Amino acid sequence: MVFEAAMMARKGVDKEEIINQVNSLIPHTHEIAILKSLDYLRKGGRISIAKYLIGNLANFKPIIGVEDGLVKNIGRVKGFDNGIEILKKNILNILQNRKTDFETVFML
């Protein structure tokens, strides 16, 4: 969304039109992330202490996504670096299973 807004601003588009465009993108924006730590999932009550301990011992890293404003579990991988590689190799398959057609994909 920031990229789209910046491109529109660079073209000299009116501020209100940029805001309207960004707001129209919100329902079509999905985030996917690999978490480095289970700490915040445990602190937020999203996982039990047992899952937290086993996940840390096994070095599991959850893959989460935001869809329709809700955080959803997509899967898990063993090790953060391994997760990044799996995500890069499978990003098109992951995106095909989402509700929205994508014009642009960013990986940070």
What's the confidence (pLDDT) of residue 74? Answer: 83
pTM of the predicted structure, to 2 decimals: 0.64
> Does a structural domain hold residue 9?
no
Query: Which CATH number goes with the domain that contains 81?
Result: 3.30.1180.10
Structural domain containing residue 43:
30-96
Q: Is residue 53 one of the residues assigned to a domain?
A: yes
Q: Is residue 74 part of a domain?
A: yes
Number of domains in the chain: 1
pLDDT in tens, 14-35: 999 999 998 888 777 777 889 9
Whether 22 maps to a domain, the answer reads no
Q: Is 60 helix (H, G, I), strand (E, B) or coil?
A: strand
The CA R_g of the chain, rounded to the nearest whole Å, is: 17
How crowded is residue 106: how many other Cβ atoms within 10 Å of its Cβ? Answer: 7
What's the pLDDT tens digit per position in 56-80? 999 999 988 877 667 888 889 999 9
